[in-house]
């Protein structure tokens, strides 16, 4: 009997030990799981995704909806994109109604209350812009005779790297609220990103400052922030009413203006109607510069900073072509 | 002296009492215009010539439809969508006939969507488009051709298939996108017996795969069950089966670049009482060949599945719905100068293979939208 009891005691002890061991494993897995739980960030645009990756580092998991080579005005609201939003802890979007055609649909389809408007998990990055920093805010009555105009102003502010710095800081603040344990890391990374952008900006500004050709004709009102930052001047817009194919009379007038005030550079994004922009360039004796309108729009634009590297490099190269073409046209 | 109630009511109006009562029950946000819903109006204007003009009213211009839409968040829990449709009367829906150019007003949709349900569940309550197939839930201004395919018109109805009840949606946990929608509705609309109190129930499983960055494939199946309108008051039922396949390709490299959409859909009604094996299908292709231009081709069939065209004995008074074998062939070109307007020119040939009656129609249609109209689902 004693032996039997002794065996029973030993058995119970072994069972208890196993239970404790199992509990410890479960506990350690839980704790380690919590330690590696990352904030799931979904960005609408590639630029915002890149900034979120820099600010979030290893503390976040970033995906984005609109690939860099797509025109962000016209993203098809595919259900697979709503699926990405379904598990998001934080949605970061451009705002100023750039995504108005597709983001509300995706938000409804995602049925994720964490990222609904007004929630902590919803971040309109246009809030990073200070008073007066939003360009082309319509004055007076707005209607669709002016095309698919943005009533809140030009939304393409991410083409000014200074705005990228502000957006990085805004993201850091929001991530710090969602994940307070890593707040210092987010803010530190945002400052590091700001310093990196500022150091590169000097080179880019100097590169464009040396250009002799400062006037540009753009296909869409996509480049206003870039032009303002770099001190260029927009002579005209080919697609003068956003989202509407330009009327031939308008294009002829623009060509005439380009001829009179040239040499100019004609700028289009990779997704624009390149042929139409090319015709304007050809008839004004200007160079056509097809630029990445977003991070990842081309292979070379493999990051937000690389995008500016490519843009400034292409403007510099194009100017040489423009001067040569202009000289040939003049002779 | 007793004051008549009507006089009292008039005195209240004159004294402004209702306004005072309203103001007292109002909230601050109730007075803010920023809380107004998004409002839009869509209009469809049609000009048509029909060679045979079988109903006598097909030739000429008409206002084909007007849709007034209101969308807004209600509160943290609900979002509402109301869509009021006006269109010429449809005789087959028991409406006044369209010969007097009268318009009929319908609440096409009026529902609220739950915004904060647990587990990502969706709940819709009200009158809504039933998720049966690809075409039946469309509003008229979303039609890829001027009229609904004959299979949809014959078995379901020629405008939006909506009814009142509740719908639940759940995302199916599979590696691709899949959602399942299940609903119960009153059955107040064709093809159901509105006087029968039995509910209509149905569901739809949608599967969608991203084949490439630019293309998707959707394969879906739909089912519904309800009282059969062809036998009013007799408690006969109909089961409706649907399957659809859609492939979409849109060039992502260019704004308004080339795009190609192809859809095939089949509908099989199974009536508890009825002769034949009715079924039908349509297929369509739409191609954007220029930034502002689309071309479309479509063919379809709605077959009653009867061996010969004759009355079913003992049921002479019943509306049997489709009795022939209708075929349709369509071609159109659509000019889309902006997101808010389009002009369409279309040629349609109809033929009934049983009676050998046919018709050739030419249609021009203008489609425009004003106000704040939401983008359409993918």
DSSP result, A202-253: HHHHHHHHT-S--EEEESSTT-HHHHHHHT-EEEEESS-STTSPPPHHHHHH
Q: Is residue B349 part of a domain?
A: yes
Please give the backbone phi and psi of residue B174, each rounded to the nearest 5 degrees, phi first. -125, 165
Minimal C-alpha gap between A27 and chain B (Å)? 26
Q: Is the pLDDT of residue A253 over 60?
A: yes
Q: Which of A50, A60, A52, A31 is nearest to A182 (CA)?
A: A60
CB contact under 8 A, A78 and B208: yes
State the average pLDDT over residues A246-275: 92
CB contact under 8 A, B254 and A243: no
pLDDT in tens, B109-168: 999 999 888 888 999 999 999 999 999 999 999 999 999 999 999 999 888 999 999 999
Q: Which of A132, A136, A61 is nearest to A98 (CA)?
A: A136
Q: Is the pLDDT of residue A301 over 70?
A: yes
B257-262 contacts at long range (C-beta below 8 A, 24 or more positions apart): B257/B288, B257/B291, B258/B287, B258/B288, B258/B289, B259/B286, B259/B287, B259/B288, B260/B285, B260/B286, B260/B287, B260/B288, B261/B144, B261/B285, B261/B286, B261/B287, B262/B286
Domain A210-330 CATH class label: alpha beta
CB contact under 8 A, A270 and B253: yes
CB contact under 8 A, A80 and B340: no
* ipTM over 0.85 threshold: no
Predicted pLDDT of residue A2: 39
> Residue B212: which pLDDT band, with cuts at 50, 70 and 90?
very high
Predicted pLDDT of residue B99: 47
Task: Say which of A82, A104, A117 has its CB closest to residue B374.
Answer: A104
How open is the CA angle B276-B279-B280, to the nearest 5 degrees?
Answer: 145
Minimal C-alpha gap between B366 and chain A (Å)? 17
- A287 burial level (CB within 10 Å; 0-12, 13-18, 19+): buried
Q: Which of B369, B376, B363 is nearest to B146 (CA)?
A: B363
B177: contact with A, CB 8 A cutoff:
yes
CB contact under 8 A, B378 and A78: yes
CB contact under 8 A, B113 and A108: yes
B377: contact with A, CB 8 A cutoff:
yes
Total domains, chain B: 1
Q: Is residue B76 part of a domain?
A: yes
Predicted pLDDT of residue B93: 54
B261: contact with A, CB 8 A cutoff:
no
Q: Is the pLDDT of residue A211 over 90?
A: no
State the average pLDDT over residues B57-80: 92
Q: Is the pLDDT of residue A70 over 50?
A: yes
Q: Is residue B237 part of a domain?
A: yes
Q: With b meaning 16 or more CB within 10 Å and e meaning fewer, what string describes A60-92?
A: bbbebbbebbbbbbbbbbbbebbbbbbebbbbb
Q: How far apart are CA A227 and CA A220, in angstroms?
A: 13
Please give the backbone phi and psi of residue B212, each rounded to the nearest 5 degrees, phi first. -140, 180
Please give the residue that has the higher pLDDT: either A111 or A28: A111
Q: Is residue B43 part of a domain?
A: yes
CB contact under 8 A, A105 and B374: yes
Q: Which of A192, A94, A93 is nearest to A134 (CA)?
A: A94
Q: pTM for this one?
A: 0.84
Residues of B in contact with A273 (CB under 8 A): 254-256, 291
Q: Is residue B182 part of a domain?
A: yes
| CATH at B284 | 2.40.160.10
Task: Say which of B252, B377, B378 has its CB closest to residue A70.
Answer: B252
Q: Is the pLDDT of residue B101 over 90?
A: no
State the average pLDDT over residues B266-285: 92
Q: CATH 3.40.50.1980 in chain A: give the residue spans.
A: 37-130+148-201, 210-330
Q: Is the pLDDT of residue A171 over 90?
A: yes
Q: Is residue B91 part of a domain?
A: yes
Predicted pLDDT of residue A267: 96
User: Looking at A165-169, A247-251, A321-325, which range is the least confident one?
Assistant: A321-325
Instruction: Round the average pLDDT of chain A to a whole number and report it.
Output: 88
Instruction: Say if residues A41 and A62 touch (Cβ distance below 8 Å).
Output: yes
Q: Is residue B28 part of a domain?
A: no
Residues of B in contact with A108 (CB under 8 A): 79, 113
Q: Is the pLDDT of residue B319 over 60?
A: no
Domain A37-130+148-201 CATH class label: alpha beta
Q: Is residue B26 part of a domain?
A: no
Q: Which of residues 284-303 of B touch A (CB under 8 A)?
A: 291-292
Task: Say which of B115, B337, B375 has its CB closest to residue A113.
Answer: B115
Domain that holds residue B161: 36-371
CB contact under 8 A, B339 and A116: no
Minimal C-alpha gap between A218 and chain B (Å)? 15
> Residue A27: which pLDDT band, with cuts at 50, 70 and 90?
very low
CB pairs under 8 A between A and B: 84
> Residue A318: which pLDDT band, with cuts at 50, 70 and 90?
confident
Predicted pLDDT of residue B194: 77
B74: contact with A, CB 8 A cutoff:
no
């Amino acid at each position: 009997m004693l032996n039997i009891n002794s065996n029973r005691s030993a058995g119970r002890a072994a069972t208890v030990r196993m239970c404790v061991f199992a509990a410890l494993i479960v506990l350690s897995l839980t704790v380690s799981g919590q330690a590696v739980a990352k904030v799931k960030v979904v960005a609408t645009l590639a630029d915002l995704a890149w900034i979120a990756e820099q600010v979030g580092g290893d503390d976040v998991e970033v995906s984005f909806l609109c690939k860099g080579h797509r025109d962000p005005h016209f993203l098809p609201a595919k259900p697979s994109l709503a699926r990405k939003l379904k598990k998001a802890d934080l949605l970061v979007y451009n705002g100023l109604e750039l995504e108005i055609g597709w983001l509300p649909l995706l938000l409804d389809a995602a049925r994720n209350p964490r990222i609904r408007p007004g929630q902590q998990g919803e971040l309109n990055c246009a809030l990073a812009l200070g008073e007066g920093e939003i360009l082309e805010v319509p004055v007076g009555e707005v209607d669709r005779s002016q095309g698919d105009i943005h009533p809140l102003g030009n939304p393409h502010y991410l083409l000014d790297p200074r705005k990228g710095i502000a957006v990085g800081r805004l993201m850091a603040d929001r991530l710090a609220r969602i994940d307070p344990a890593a707040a210092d890391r987010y803010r530190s990374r945002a400052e590091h990103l700001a310093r990196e952008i500022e150091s590169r900006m000097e080179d880019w500004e100097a590169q464009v400052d040396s250009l002799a050709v400062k006037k540009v004709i753009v296909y869409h009102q996509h480049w206003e922030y870039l032009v303002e930052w770099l001190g260029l001047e927009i002579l005209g817009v080919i697609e003068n009413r956003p989202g509407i194919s330009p009327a031939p009379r308008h294009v002829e007038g623009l060509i005439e203006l380009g001829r009179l005030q040239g040499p100019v550079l004609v700028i289009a994004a990779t997704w624009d109607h390149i042929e139409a922009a090319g015709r304007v360039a050809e008839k004004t004796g200007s160079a056509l510069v097809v630029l990445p309108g977003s991070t990842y729009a081309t292979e070379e634009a493999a990051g937000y900073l690389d995008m500016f590297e490519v843009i400034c490099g292409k403007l510099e190269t194009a100017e040489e072509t423009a001067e040569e073409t202009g000289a040939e046209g003049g002779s | 002296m007793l004051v008549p109630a009507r006089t009292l009511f008039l005195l209240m109006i004159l004294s402004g009492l209702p306004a005072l009562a309203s103001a007292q029950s109002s909230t601050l946000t109730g007075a803010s215009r920023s809380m107004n819903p998004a409002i839009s109006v869509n209009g469809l204007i049609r000009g048509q010539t029909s060679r045979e003009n079988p109903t006598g009213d097909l030739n000429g211009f008409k206002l084909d439809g007007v849709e007034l839409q209101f969308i807004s968040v209600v509160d943290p829990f609900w979002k509402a969508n109301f869509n009021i449709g006006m269109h010429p009367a449809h005789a087959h829906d028991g409406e006044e006939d369209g010969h007097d150019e009268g318009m009929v007003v319908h609440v096409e949709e009026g529902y609220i969507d739950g915004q904060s349900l647990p587990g990502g569940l969706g709940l819709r309550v009200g009158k809504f488009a039933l998720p049966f197939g690809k075409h039946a839930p469309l509003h008229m201004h979303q039609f890829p051709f001027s009229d609904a395919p004959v299979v949809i018109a014959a078995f379901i109805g020629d405008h939006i298939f909506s009814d009142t009840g509740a719908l639940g949606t759940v995302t199916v946990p599979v590696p691709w996108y899949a959602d399942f929608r299940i609903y119960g509705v009153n059955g107040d609309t064709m093809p159901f017996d509105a006087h029968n109190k039995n509910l209509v129930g149905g569901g739809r499983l949608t599967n969608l795969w991203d084949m490439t960055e630019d293309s998707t494939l959707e394969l879906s199946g739909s089912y519904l069950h309800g009282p059969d309108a062809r036998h009013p008051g007799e408690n006969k039922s109909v089961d409706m089966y649907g399957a659809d396949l859609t492939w979409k390709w849109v060039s992502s490299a260019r704004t308004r670049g080339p795009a190609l959409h192809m859809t095939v859909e089949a509908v099989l009604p199974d009536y508890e009482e009825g002769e034949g094996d009715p079924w039908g299908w349509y297929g369509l292709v739409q191609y954007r060949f220029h930034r502002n231009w689309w071309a479309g081709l479509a063919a379809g069939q709605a077959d009653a599945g009867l061996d010969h065209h004759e009355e079913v004995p003992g049921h002479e008074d019943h509306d049997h719905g489709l009795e022939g074998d209708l075929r349709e062939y369509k071609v159109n070109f659509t000019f889309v100068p902006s997101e808010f307007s389009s002009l369409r020119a279309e040629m349609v040939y109809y033929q009934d293979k049983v009676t050998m009656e046919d018709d050739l129609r030419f249609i021009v249609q203008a489609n425009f939208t004003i106000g704040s109209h939401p983008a359409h689902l993918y």
